[in-house]
Amino acid sequence: MVFRPTPLTAAEERLRGAVRRFLAEELPPGHRPGLGLGGRHDPEFSRKLAARGWVGMMIPPRYGGAGASPVERFVVVEELLEAGAPITAHWIAERQTAPTLLTFGTDEQRSWFLPRIAAGECWFSLGMSEPDAGSDLAAVRTTATRRTGGWVVNGTKVWTTGAHVNHFFVVLCRTSAAGDRHDGLSQLIVDLQAPGVRVSPILFPDGSHHFNEVVLDDVFVPDERVLGQVGSGWHQVTAELAYERSGPDRYLSIFGLLKHFVAERGAGRDDFTRAAVGRIGAKLWTIRQLSLAVARSLECGAAPAVEAALVKDVGTTFEQEVVELLRYVAGQEIDPGAAGMFEALLAECVLTSPVFTLRGGTTEVLRGIAAKGLGR
């Protein structure tokens, strides 16, 4: 496992300045920051960001993107998350579906989907988890049965983030009952408006609606919507998880909370608070260096899946520690209806931060991946 320290270049720092100026113009002063992926769904903001070339940044220009590097994307994403910008509309499509289409999609799929993703107008969800298949994705029971010109899909997906607002989702399903449970899986791009797709909300403990159950009842998917090779779903989905795990979205969800704590309560009011904020700052900086090192190594053509798993583990555990520490330092009961920004964000964080170490792979599973990687 290798994390090489890497500074940002002058051009990368200039990009940061441009994003900051854009955000200062677009976000009203005193806006309520979103908690990373749990922020607002705002199609207009996504389109404005896309007009600057900052959605699907790594998509090559021939498919409508900016052809940017992973580190340039890192800089933009870091700024968006620090500002608590409303990024959820385009988020999954830009972070995960676009690179997957670039690696495994047909030219026809790339030509159709990628320009729409880069324009911030085509939004995706992920259809991996099922009631009895979360960490163990090879246990998926959703089936796709061959029909003339395509496949008929039946099954149930759970925890499907954004399925109630997004256009498509990539469904991991069983296309044959092969001997080895990792074989016989495939990925299909399913239109969330197609006949037979039923989306029902699953609410967070604070009552907010982010994810869903999606039932697929005889849903027809044409052959041209098969993503990659039939039977290669396991290999493809594992490759995709590396995009999901190492980015700033895995340690900056709580940045708004930290910022408002410092602004409203002060970092230096007593020794304990000073020590707590100093500890948070030091850890944040260290994790950020790890995440940046992964982005730089992606830029150099490596596939740091084990490093990415480790960053997600330390990043999301850190996020939960920050919430607990600031709650302790604040020394008060949470109040979701509080008028002050810090108090309102604290309540939101306490009620939703348990999901940080579950979504995208649980801590235990990530540690298993990291341990196996260290053993090699």
Ligand X SMILES: Cc1cc2nc3c(=O)[nH]c(=O)nc-3n(C[C@H](O)[C@H](O)[C@H](O)COP(=O)(O)OP(=O)(O)OC[C@H]3O[C@@H](n4cnc5c(N)ncnc54)[C@H](O)[C@@H]3O)c2cc1C
CB of 178 to ligand X, least distance (A): 22
CB of 160 to ligand X, least distance (A): 5
Distance CA 150, CA 237 (A): 21
Using the minimum distance from each CB to ligand X, give the nearer residue, 37 or 258. Answer: 37
CA angle (171, 204, 76) in 5-degree steps: 65
CB of 163 to ligand X, least distance (A): 8
CB of 13 to ligand X, least distance (A): 33
Cβ–Cβ under 8 Å, residues 123 and 89: yes
Q: What residues form DSSP beta bridges with 200?
A: 213
CB of 340 to ligand X, least distance (A): 26
CB of 73 to ligand X, least distance (A): 20
CB of 361 to ligand X, least distance (A): 6
Cβ–Cβ under 8 Å, residues 301 and 240: no
CB of 212 to ligand X, least distance (A): 9
Q: Is 334 helix (H, G, I), strand (E, B) or coil?
A: coil
Helices (H), 160-270: 233-245, 255-265
Using the minimum distance from each CB to ligand X, give the nearer residue, 255 or 261. Answer: 255
Using the minimum distance from each CB to ligand X, give the nearer residue, 291 or 316. Answer: 316
Distance CA 84, CA 69 (A): 23
Q: What is the DSSP string of 318-353?
A: HHHHHHHHHHHHHTS---TT-SSHHHHHHHHHHHHG
Using the minimum distance from each CB to ligand X, give the nearer residue, 172 or 221. Answer: 172
Using the minimum distance from each CB to ligand X, give the nearer residue, 3 or 204. Answer: 204
Exposure letters 52-84 (e unless 16+ CB within 10 A, then b): ebbbbbbbeeebbbbebbbbbbbbbbbbbbbbb
Using the minimum distance from each CB to ligand X, give the nearer residue, 327 or 359. Answer: 359
CA distances from 204 to 207, 230, 288 (A): 5, 35, 28
Distance CA 205, CA 242 (A): 28
Cβ–Cβ under 8 Å, residues 136 and 365: no
Using the minimum distance from each CB to ligand X, give the nearer residue, 296 or 359. Answer: 359
Greatest Cα pair distance in the chain: 71
Please give the residue ranges that form the binding site for ligand X (CB under 6 A). Answer: 125-129, 134-135, 159-161, 211, 355, 358-359, 361-362, 364-365, 368
Q: Is 43 helix (H, G, I), strand (E, B) or coil?
A: helix
CB of 157 to ligand X, least distance (A): 6
Catalogue the E-assigned strands of the chain. 124-127, 143-147, 150-157, 168-174, 185-191, 197-203, 209-222, 226-227
CB of 313 to ligand X, least distance (A): 11
Using the minimum distance from each CB to ligand X, give the nearer residue, 80 or 369. Answer: 369
- Closest residue to ligand X, based on beta-carbon distance: 134
Tally Cβ neighbours within 10 Å of residue 363: 16
Using the minimum distance from each CB to ligand X, give the nearer residue, 159 or 318. Answer: 159
Distance CA 193, CA 341 (A): 37
Using the minimum distance from each CB to ligand X, give the nearer residue, 210 or 296. Answer: 210
Q: Is 156 helix (H, G, I), strand (E, B) or coil?
A: strand
